[in-house]
Amino acid sequence: MTHGLDAARLPPAAPGLRIGLYGGSFNPAHAGHFHVSRLALKRLRLDRIWWLVTPGNPLKDHRELAPLSERIATARGVARDPRIAVTGIEAAIGARYTIETLRWLRRHRPSLRFVWMMGADSLVSFHRWERFREIASLMPIAVIDRPGSTLSGPNAPGARALARWRIDEPDASRLASLQPPAWIFLHGPRSSLSSTALRNRV
């Protein structure tokens, strides 16, 4: 594979660890991704975070998408914390949609306590994701505030559909142990960086 066997493997993890799953194109990875991950590690009391570098988001234009191997290499350069691991497992297992990845992980790593992570901008379009309700039923979800999505995220169709399972921010450290569906919206210092803006700047 062009992205290398190492990138196609799952990071090592002992049974019972609390793992945040942060999926995206990472086109390119930047300090904002790192900021979100550090915030989640602290607030959610996670042991690790795995950056799942996707072959390509079905809802986005792929014409400006850099090769997977390049995006993985850049992400590893940005993820300057030993608790953050970068993997291209989605390409290795042939997953096109998030739901396929999460089903696979639950089946192959049943002893790990996963939390799906996303920015508030992704929550705005979450109702358009393939089987978004099933995603919420598979593992708890942490939504991290993003500039411009503080109000639109929690009021989006997907958030309204899952409103009764939202937990309060003071309970953030409990999220990884809760039976899904369960989700939280985390406020805090926000990064204005975006991959789109970085590509346009280049």
CATH code: domain of residue 54:
3.40.50.620
Residue 127 lies in a domain: yes
Q: Look over the chain and give the mean of its residue pLDDT values, rounded to a whole number.
A: 90
Candidates 19, 102, 23; CA nearest to 58 is 23
Top pLDDT among 201 and 52 is at: 52
pLDDT average, residue stretch 194-201: 47
Give strand pairing partners of 143: 118, 185
Contacts of 145 (CB under 8 A, 6+ apart): 119, 120, 153, 185, 186, 187, 188, 190
Top pLDDT among 194 and 66 is at: 66
> Which structural domain range is residue 93 located in?
14-187
Residue 6 lies in a domain: no
**Number of domains the chain is built from:** 1
Candidates 109, 104, 112; CA nearest to 140 is 112
Residue 58: pLDDT band by 50, 70, 90 thresholds?
confident
> Distance between CA atoms of 66 and 62, rounded to whole angstroms?
9
pTM for this predicted structure: 0.90
Contact 37, 20 (CB under 8 A): yes
pLDDT for residue 171? 98
Residue 200 lies in a domain: no
Residue 195 lies in a domain: no
